[in-house]
Structure 1
Amino acid sequence: MDMTAAPYRRTAPDVPSWPHCAEAPPGGAGCRGRRVEPYAVCLAHLPDAERAAHLAGLRPGADLDHRGTRFTEGLIRELLTALTEPATAGPRIGQAHFEEAVFHGAVPFDLARIDGDALFDGVEIAGNVSFDRAEIGGRALFRQARIGGDADFERMTVRRRAVFEGTEVGGSASFERMRVDGRAVFDELRTGRDAVFKGMEVGGFLSLDQARIGGDGHFDRARINLTTTLRSLTADGRVSFAGAAFEGSARVGPLVCAGTLDLSEAVFGAAMTLEAAAAAVRCRRTRWTSTAALRLRYAAVDLCDAVVESPLSITARSRPFAVDGGELDEQGLSGGPGRPEPGVRIMSLRGVDAAHLVLTGVDLTECLLAGTVHLDQLRLEGKYTFAAAPAGLRRRGIRPARWTPRRTLAEEHHWRAARGRAADGWTPAPAGEEVQEPAALAPVYRQLRKAFEDGKHEPGAADFYYGEMEMRRHADDIPRAERSLLTAYWALSGYGQRASRALGWLLAAMTVTVLAMMLWGLPQNDPKPRTTGTVVGRSITMTTDVPGPANPDGPYRERLTTDRFEKSLRVVVNSVVFRSSGQNLTTAGTYTEMASRLTEPALLGLAALAVRSRLKR
């Protein structure tokens, strides 16, 4: 039966499972130390002469069984020295049984070689413990161990499996470059400060369920060949998997990280699921070769230059993560109860191939999108937000500035703020961030517009079309004549996206046309036809003459009458719908009508186009 998979259970204090010491220390309770054969007491209670003889009889490679024994720092050093060959730097042990042993000082197993199992279940160590570069040919079991100081297992090699389930370390714990050929189990590990797993190599699966790290957790450049499970991991600082490689499937989380969760340059070779509440998630140059799902809370996500070869979904989770029916403590992130549900901010997609990327319920207000590959294939789902143009009327000195609210890129904010518009509400670029020019931002808007059009979201596409045209209008690589045309298009109708602007110009044009008609377009009086006839024999010849319209004269005030207004309005309304009013007009009125029949229907069409762009699905 494989006992390493079963949880360690400490034997009742009064019933040790091994032949125990007959010595009674001060306090009256019996000693739990394993007897040293053929004596009736443990190593700690052997008289000096007998202990010296026992140690002198030990040879490197001997088995040790000191379960429950209490060691001083001097006693453990004497024991290890007796097992050290002169030509080697560390002791050599066969089987090492130290279950429930108590160490009152440091435990120096540096460079130790244990040919069999190293069993330290339930040990209590008051000081530091070090297994630096130790080699264990069998299992290394440290279940329910209590270490008061630091724990150093750097470069330790375990040929079978290593189990640190329920281990508590008062200081920091280092497993840097530790190699485990089988499984590595750190479930319910507790550390007072940092936990370092840099460069660890695990041939089997790695498990850190319900571990608690008092400082930072470092998993940089770790190599895991099989499944990785980090469930309910909590760290008071940052957690880094920079450069780590996961060949098997990985289940990371749910975890709570008060600092940054760093996945930069990590490689996930199989399906991966990450559930985390963290202040930030850094995925710079991270590589996903299989499907992956990131479910996050509170996080600012940086995906700069990440490699996405299969579908990758990033979802903002609205509810706290729960494990075994209980919610994880997010106090370090939430700032206390009553705070609104946290969101997920995407900070950068530069260099990412967005063809396989799905973002759900995220905030793109600060996201840097210039340089994203296949941005037109990006999928946005749920409730998402982009940066908005400043709304309302603001003043810079004496000049008013107004922008209609629309979705914008964070890079447009940076560019406009760099031109001195920060006081108008545009957000400056972060320190050290290069400001993109309009020529570089126009293609970004174009690709976003296509992504929204392909998703049948025409109103959203309209905002990005507006942004594209704005960037083209300001780009320095566009000919002056084309920029002038774009400026006129913007002024008249907001590039066919602002119905109110086009209707305003239409109303102004109609008002001017009506006024021109009343003042100069309508004749002084309606011409009255005159008919004359000539009788020759039995024939009568009739001729009707219509005099030409007479230009109005007299004061302008006398021309502004109700009758002339009604006639002028009829002319203008008919002009908007390409119809002739049939009204006699002066020469000036004829040309005015021709101009209105050309311009006013165009303005009406621009207004209709703007309304359609907001309603089309």
Structure 2
Amino acid sequence: MTAIFREHQASVIPEERAAQTFKGRAGFESATFEDDAWFGAATFQSPVDLGPFVCAGRVSLAGAVFDGPMTLSCVARRVECRRTRWMSTAELRLRYTTVDFSHAVFEYPLTIAAEAAPFVLSDGRPVTEQALAGAPDETVRMASMRGVDAAHLVLADVDLSGCLFTGTVHLDQIRLEGACVFDTVPPAMHWRGWRPIRFTQRRTLAEEHHWRASRPGAVPGWNVAVFGAGRVGPLQLAPVYRALRKAFEDGKHEPGAADFYYGEMEMRRHADDIPRSERGLLTAYWALSGYGMRASRALAWRGAAMLVTIVLLMGLGLPKDASKQAATGTVPAGGGKVTLEIDKADPQNPTGERFTGERFEQALNVTLNSVVFRSADQDLTTSGTYIEMASRVTEPVLLGLAILAVRNRVKR
């Protein structure tokens, strides 16, 4: 039998009444709530298996206490677990739901998972989801985890693109299973004044969106903060990115960890409490290789450095002509031993046509050898010697950054 609770019946525990205590079994299997279902401030002393049931509005567990194991299976637009307390293991299996989990308390493993298919009742019939026919999809979204100790929390197949994480404790110990989705940076290319701005795709937090959207000159695509989200900045976001990076590393998801490392470094670079020298180093690290995460950027800089080296060598570094050796000595008048001194003329600065095919080949040979710290055995002017020295320092570093970026993206 299916029970339908209409609007005047929807509050299982009316808000105006004192908190109730359930000492026996509470189920509500196959029930349908056409408005809200209110379980707020209730105490469940026995093991609880709520559902599967359907709620067209919100299911409020705010302030409720579960002394024993608890399972919630429901289809609802919103589930509110603010300051809910679980004293034993718990599992929330949901569909179509946005979950507010702020300041929830639990001391044992707790799982929040998205149910891929409609729930099935004990008699084998599927749960009717007609009450949520207008919902966009069956995705489960987390709205907030602020104030939660996530040491025992498992999230499976949930959407975290709008979740607020700042203030979460032990976030590095959270377990993310299945397809847990985060927000991404704005796509395509944008213009900030005369400068083109393009963001490489990576996972981002909703709070970084809010912070960037509030900055002057923000490009379109960053999501503004909703009412009540509060204001956080790089100082608060850097430790959140650091904790999530560690969680992904512990889960052997290195590409995901790389995205959160990038976010952590971005927040450090924009933070107000770092010295100017450190900000300069971080900015250079970002510009050259995206904090060791953008191989294409490092390779582009390396290609540009090689091109500049070739042009400078052709213009200034290669001598006018190949240096020739000259032997000088004195022949004794009466014959005898002859002593010769072999001297090599100093390279002469180039004159005339400098950008020729032959000089390009010579400059390219010097540049390619300098990348791997080899000498090209090519005579160079004084300027060319210093150009080659600079090339032998910078270009191998850029090549190393590119290799590091590739490794960080593909290792498991």
TM range (shorter): over 0.9
Match of 2:69 among 271, 293, 298: 271
Partner of 2:220: 424
Partner of 1:547: 345
Partner of 2:401: 606
Kindly indicate whether the alpha-carbon contact (under 8 Å) linking 1:492 and 1:501 is maintained by their aligned counterparts in 2.
yes
Kindly indicate whether the alpha-carbon contact (under 8 Å) linking 2:3 and 2:32 is maintained by their aligned counterparts in 1.
no
Kindly indicate whether the alpha-carbon contact (under 8 Å) linking 1:249 and 1:269 is maintained by their aligned counterparts in 2.
yes
Cα separation, 2, equivalents of 1:609 and 1:278: 46
Alignment of 1:213-612 (within 5 A): 221-323=19-121, 324-335=123-134, 341-396=137-192, 398-420=194-216, 423-536=219-332, 537-554=335-352, 558-612=353-407
Higher helix share: 2
TM-score, normalisation: structure 2: 0.95
Amino acid at match of 2:294: R
Distance 1:264 1:592, change over 3 A: same
Superposed displacement of residue 432, structure 1: 3.2
Amino acid at match of 1:565: F
Cα separation, 2, equivalents of 1:239 and 1:473: 46
Distance 1:430 1:197, change over 3 A: closer
Cα separation, 1, equivalents of 2:6 and 2:71: 28
Cα separation, 2, equivalents of 1:275 and 1:220: 26
Partner of 1:32: none
Amino acid at match of 1:360: A
How well do the aligned residues superpose, as a CA RMSD in angstroms? 1.9
Superposed displacement of residue 481, structure 1: 1.2
Superposed displacement of residue 377, structure 1: 0.5
Alignment of 1:103-122 (within 5 A): none
Indicate the SS of the match to 1:502.
helix
Kindly indicate whether the alpha-carbon contact (under 8 Å) linking 2:3 and 2:30 is maintained by their aligned counterparts in 1.
no
Superposed displacement of residue 540, structure 1: 3.0
Distance 1:390 1:191, change over 3 A: closer
Distance 1:257 1:422, change over 3 A: farther
Cα separation, 1, equivalents of 2:194 and 2:58: 45
Match of 2:8 among 182, 194, 201: 194
Alignment of 1:71-220 (within 5 A): 189-195=3-9, 196-198=11-13
Distance 1:274 1:436, change over 3 A: same
Cα separation, 1, equivalents of 2:5 and 2:394: 77
Distance 1:191 1:441, change over 3 A: closer
Superposed displacement of residue 528, structure 1: 1.1
Superposed displacement of residue 191, structure 1: 5.0
Amino acid at match of 1:198: I
Q: What is the percent sequence identity of the aligned residues?
A: 56
Kindly indicate whether the alpha-carbon contact (under 8 Å) linking 1:445 and 1:468 is maintained by their aligned counterparts in 2.
yes
Kindly indicate whether the alpha-carbon contact (under 8 Å) linking 1:219 and 1:244 is maintained by their aligned counterparts in 2.
no
Q: Where do 4+ consecutive residues of structure 1 move more than 3 Å?
A: 187-193, 217-220, 396-399, 420-423, 532-538
Indicate the SS of the match to 1:609.
helix
Kindly indicate whether the alpha-carbon contact (under 8 Å) linking 1:459 and 1:613 is maintained by their aligned counterparts in 2.
yes
Question: 1:339-382, CA deviations, whole angstroms, 9 ceiling, x for partnerless residues?
Answer: 7x511001111111111000000100000000100000011010
Amino acid at match of 1:505: W
Cα separation, 2, equivalents of 1:236 and 1:191: 6
Q: How many residues align?
A: 408
Superposed displacement of residue 437, structure 1: 1.2
Query: Relative contact order (C-alpha < 8 Å, sep 6+): which is higher?
Result: 2
Query: Which blocks of at least 5 consecutive residues in structure 1 are unaligned?
Result: 1-186, 200-216
Amino acid at match of 1:560: F
Kindly indicate whether the alpha-carbon contact (under 8 Å) linking 1:218 and 1:239 is maintained by their aligned counterparts in 2.
no
Superposed displacement of residue 398, structure 1: 4.6
Kindly indicate whether the alpha-carbon contact (under 8 Å) linking 2:242 and 2:261 is maintained by their aligned counterparts in 1.
yes
Kindly indicate whether the alpha-carbon contact (under 8 Å) linking 1:395 and 1:424 is maintained by their aligned counterparts in 2.
no
Query: Which blocks of at least 5 consecutive residues in structure 2 are unaligned?
Result: none
Cα separation, 1, equivalents of 2:310 and 2:193: 37
Cα separation, 1, equivalents of 2:41 and 2:363: 78
Distance 1:592 1:519, change over 3 A: same
Indicate the SS of the match to 2:83.
coil
Amino acid at match of 1:253: G
Structure number with bigger Rg: 1
